Amino acid sequence: MESKLNDIRKQLQEDGYKLTPQREATVKILLENKDHLSAEDIYMLVKDKAPDIGLATVYRTLELLSELRIVHKLNFGDGLARYELTKDDEEHHHHHLVCLDCGKLEEFEDDLLGDIEEKIEKTKKFNIIDHRLSFFGYCSECNEKGQASKKKTNI
């Protein structure tokens, strides 16, 4: 964790920012939690480590980290932004499976969009730097409870 924290400190410095105690507390929460946390979730966890931090500070920190591509800001169609740290070895962002019944989020690591990206870049002369893909459906647990018979819905 300390190595990743130092990498983030260095990246912030290169971009003209400091790793303030509030930013460090926020980053540590993201490092300690592999879940896709909302700003409010992060705030509640950060408050334990830095009781004087405000929700607005957490939001500003997450927006800065998102702009610098240190974190990914995710939206799964439920009106709630969630955040996760960018992985060092990621050329592209991984994908997500979202259960429409229980809300479970599962990561899907295979990146099968390389050929499509290449075609878009060639035909549209569009320089792709990242993409995001989410699949919406029902997890295995909800399928076992009879959710599989639900009709597909437009999201």
In tens, the pLDDT along 80-112 reads: 888 988 876 555 556 778 888 887 878 777 767
The sign of the torsion formed by the CA atoms of 121, 125, 127, 131 equals negative
- Strand runs (DSSP E) across 52-133, as ranges? 71-75, 81-85, 95-99, 105-108
Query: Residue 95, annotated ligand binder?
Result: no
- pTM assigned to the model: 0.67
Query: Residue 131, annotated ligand binder?
Result: yes
In tens, the pLDDT along 27-76 reads: 999 999 878 899 999 999 999 888 999 999 999 999 999 999 899 888 87
Domains of the chain with CATH codes = 1-89 (1.10.10.10), 92-155 (3.30.1490.190)
In tens, the pLDDT along 120-137 reads: 999 999 988 777 777 888
Query: Residue 99, annotated ligand binder?
Result: yes
Q: Residue 50: CB partners within 8 Å, gap ≥ 6?
A: 21, 22, 25
Task: Give CA–CA dist 108/96, Å, rounded.
Answer: 6
Query: Residue 139, annotated ligand binder?
Result: yes
Higher pLDDT, 148 or 13: 13
Query: Residue 72, annotated ligand binder?
Result: no
Quote the distance between the C-alpha of residue 65 and its chain's center.
Answer: 11
